[in-house]
Amino acid sequence: MKTLIRIVADLVVIGLVALVAIIFVPVQRTAPTEKLAADWQPPAELGEYGARLADCAVCHTKPGGEPFAGGHTIESPMGDIYTTNITPDPETSIGKWSLDDFRAALIDGVTPSSEHLYPAMPYENYRHISEADIRALYDYFMHDVKPVTNQVAETKLPFPFNQRWGIRLWNWVVLGHAGFKPATDKVANDEQLSHGAYLMQVLGNCGSCHTPRGLTMAQAGANETDAKFLTGGEIGGWSTPNLRGPKSASQQWSADELKMYLTAGRNAHSAVAGEMKLAVQESLQYINEKDAAMVSYLLCTRSAPTVRLPPTRRQRPQTRRTTPLPASMRRMMPPRRNCAARSTSRQANGSTWTIAVPVTLPTDAGRLRSSRR
């Protein structure tokens, strides 16, 4: 009995020490994962382009408000979270932040005063942003964004969610290593696929809306090797479509149709609505040809091969049914690129399934054409 009491007492002491450590041990920041030359300068427009792709404005701009001046409300199951001002205003925003402060917010989810940000800021995805993109973003926010003085309302979640140190535990459980590494050799060995994977997993944070969340509320899958990755999540109480499963867009639509949907907001099957409309309007419509690599990656994350036949009259236009090709025709198709396969072999006959007919992107004056990495 005495031993039992001793053990319980020891556990309580260990628990208390751990708690004190979590609350008081200084927060560590992750060092840059790549070394760039000291005189490295971001290519013109890379920062603005990255900010678009990463949707910074969607969350950090209040409807009708100044760009990036914050105050937009994000409804979470724990209560309303207000986004912050991220213009370079020194008093009410991040104007005095160093590059290290900025990087820490993006990849560790911490502020210069070592406060933890709520994961409503998608640092779970941004954690893997390349150092070049971080520096380009910092440069853009500090020099090109207009400073706006705007003290945004403080987020006040009910107890225990107002105890931000608790997020530290969550970070320990959920966050992996910073930096981006393709999950399979297949993707790593194919420049287009790995670029597409980076854009979808990291900068474009598609998973923040399209991947279901597990018990911890973290995304239940970070890449194509996770069965749940991009299989449909939730945003603002609405479910988002599965992008990989048997009846999903990547199974039913051609590369061109996917590209049309992402960049122009509509194709023969569907037109964007809701949150996806915002994603296209504020972000995806601006992607350049190189970044349409997302489509190749999206296609190769599909769970099972199906080939879409031309729609018959009765099926048009919404039907998502597919019919497998007869074996004789299948032999004539290009080999399926299944990026979830852990294989290093490239297609032996050199044939790859990339975007067949490039879709001309809209060419409004304001669109960016900078080329990326």
Residues that bind ligand HEC (CB under 6 A): 51, 54-56, 58-60, 74, 81, 83-84, 86, 94, 105, 111, 117-118, 120-122, 126, 137, 155, 200, 204-206, 208-210, 235, 240-241, 243, 248-249, 258, 261-262, 270, 272-276, 279, 284, 294, 298
- C-beta closer to ligand HEC: residue 88 or 122: 122
User: CA 171, CA 137: separation in Å to the nearest integer?
Assistant: 23
Q: Kindly tell me which of 190 and 249 has the beta carbon lying closer to ligand HEC.
A: 249
- Taking the least distance from each CB to ligand HEC, the nearer of 170 and 342 is 170
Least Å from the CB of residue 247 to ligand HEC = 8
> Minimum CB separation from ligand HEC for residue 353, in Å?
17
> Which residue, 190 or 230, has its beta carbon nearer to ligand HEC?
230
Nearest to 86 by CA among 72, 100, 74, 76: 72
Q: How far is the CB of 317 from ligand HEC (least distance, A)?
A: 12
Smallest distance, Å, CB 73 to ligand HEC? 9
- Would you say 83 or 150 has its CB closer to ligand HEC? 83
Burial of 177 (0-12, 13-18, 19+ CB in 10 A): exposed
Q: What minimum distance in Å lies between the beta carbon of 1 and ligand HEC? A: 47
Shortest Cβ 105–ligand HEC spacing (Å): 4
DSSP label of 290: G
Structure tokens of 347? 């297609």
Give strand ranges (E) for 282-368: none
Question: What's the CA gap between 296 and 305, in Å, rounded?
Answer: 14
3-state helix, strand, coil in the chain (%, to 5): 35, 5, 60
In whole angstroms, how close is the CB of 19 to ligand HEC at the nearest point?
21
CB atoms < 10 A from the CB of 249, how many? 22
Closer residue to ligand HEC (CB): 133 or 190: 133
Residues counted in the chain: 373
DSSP 3-state of 260:
helix
Report yes or no: 258 and 295 within 8 Å, Cβ to Cβ: yes
Contacts of 53 (CB under 8 A, 6+ apart): 199, 203, 204, 283, 284, 286, 287, 291
**196/296 Cα distance (integer angstroms):** 7
Nearer to ligand HEC, 10 or 34 (CB): 34
CB of 333 to ligand HEC, least distance (A): 22
Residue placing its CB nearer to ligand HEC in the complex, 184 or 204: 204
